[in-house]
Amino acid sequence: MRKICLLLLVWCGLHLPARAAEVTVAVASNFSAPMQKLVQAFEQETGHKALLSFGSTGNLYAQIRNGAPYEVLLAADDAAPRKLEAEGLGVAGSRFTYAIGTLVLWSKQPGLVDEKGDVLRSGKFDRIAMANPKLAPYGAAAVETLTQMGVLQAVQPKLVQGENISQTYQFVATQNAQLGFVALSQVMVDGRVSQGSAWVVPAHLHSPIRQDAILLVKGRDAPAAAALMRFLRSERARALIRTFGYAL
C-alpha cells in the first residue's frame, strides 16, 4: 500500500505544472478586454497567476522608469518597449509584436458615423473624443488620421481628450462625446461592432499601431513571466487576439 501511494505521488509530480507563481503585468488600456480573456487561459494552462495593471502606454513607461515592480509590459506601440530595452530596463532580445491595433471612429448613436467617416467633414457633432496623443498611441493615430483628412483644425475646438483609450471609450459610451476614436477591440463582440455606428479607419491614414511586449528586467528570472511571454506567442493566444479585431 505504501509503495502504491509513493508511486501515485511521483506520478502526480510528473503531471502537475511547475510550482505556481505570480507575474505582474503592465497592459495598455486598449488591450484590457483581450488580456482578461488571455489571462484566464494562461492561468488554466500553466497554474501561474497574472496581476494586471492597465493604463496609457506613456504612463506605464513612466512608472517603469520610476521603479514600478512590473515584470512584463504589453504596450500599445513599439516605441516604449524599444526605449526600455535601450535603457536597460527591458531584457534584450525579448521584445516582439503581439498585435497590430485597429483604430475605429465610433458613436453609440446608430447612423451618426457613416461607413466613410464623412461625419468628420460635416461637423454634425458637438464633441469628439480621443486619447491623449502624447501618452496613447491610439490618440497619436487619431491625430494622424484627422491631419491626413485635412480636418484637424476644423474639429480642434470640439476635441475632448481622455488620459487613455479606456477613458476615451467612456466619454463616447456615456455620450458625453457624440463620437470618438477608440480601439476596435473595445467595441467588437463576436466579430462585429456590437452597438451604435462605426467607421474602421483605413490603415493608410495613420502609422501602423504595432503593439509590442517586452520582458522587463524585474521579471528576468521569474518563471511566471517567462511562461506568459511564451503563452502570448502560442497559437491559442493568437487565435483569441484575432477575435478582438487585431491583426498579427
The reported pTM is 0.85
How far apart CA 140 and CA 144 sit, in angstroms, is: 6
pLDDT greater than 80 at residue 80:
yes
pLDDT greater than 90 at residue 6:
no
Say yes or no: do domains 21-100+209-242 and 101-205 share a fold. Answer: yes
- CATH fold label, 101-205: D-Maltodextrin-Binding Protein; domain 2 (3.40.190)
Question: b or e along 8-39 (b: 16 or more beta carbons within 10 Å of the residue's beta carbon)?
Answer: eeeeeeeeeeeeeeebbbbbbbbbbebbeebb
**Sequence-separated (6 or more) residues with CB below 8 Å from residue 247:** 99, 100, 102
- How many CA atoms lie within 13 Å of 216's alpha carbon, on the beta-carbon side? 24
pLDDT at 2: 53
How far apart CA 94 and CA 92 sit, in angstroms, is: 6
pLDDT at 194: 78
pLDDT tens digits, residue range 143-181?
Answer: 999 999 999 999 999 999 999 999 999 999 999 999 999
Residue ranges of the domains in the chain?
Answer: 21-100+209-242, 101-205
How far apart CA 19 and CA 88 sit, in angstroms, is: 29
The domain defined by 21-100+209-242 carries CATH number 3.40.190.10:
yes
pLDDT tens digits, residue range 49-73?
Answer: 999 999 999 999 999 999 999 999 9
